[in-house]
Amino acid sequence: MDNQQQPTGGYKPPQPPTPQPGEGLATAAMIFGIVSLVFFVINWFIPFGEVFFGIIGIILATMAKKRGYVGSKNTAGLVCSIITVILGGIYWAACMIICHEMVR
């Protein structure tokens, strides 16, 4: 009764997917891009937070691309971060101009 043999049907259990290089960086870039957009909306509480997190998102997305990651997480993080840095820069430049004109 100890002669149990493995079935020979050719069935192989599914293997977990192997992560792509740079996938963790792409995920972090997407998170930082989304957080920077949220900080842009509520920037009354955290000044310059959106630009700070946007720049970090751009850096992480660039690092993920250099490591060979190709995917939508990287693209989403990069696009959100770039949009937020541009809008945040315009917003803060406008605030500085308005404050400068009010002081005159």
> Using an 8 Å Cβ cutoff, are 20 and 64 in contact?
no
Q: Tens of pLDDT along 22-74?
A: 899 999 999 999 999 998 888 766 767 888 999 999 999 999 999 989 889 99
Exposure letters 60-76 (e unless 16+ CB within 10 A, then b):
bbebbbeeebeeebbbb
CA distance 57 to 52: 9
Q: Residue 74 has what pLDDT?
A: 93
The whole-model pTM stands at 0.76
Residues 6+ apart with CB under 8 A from 78: 29, 33, 57, 58, 61, 62
Q: What confidence tier does 83 reach under pLDDT thresholds 50, 70, 90?
A: very high
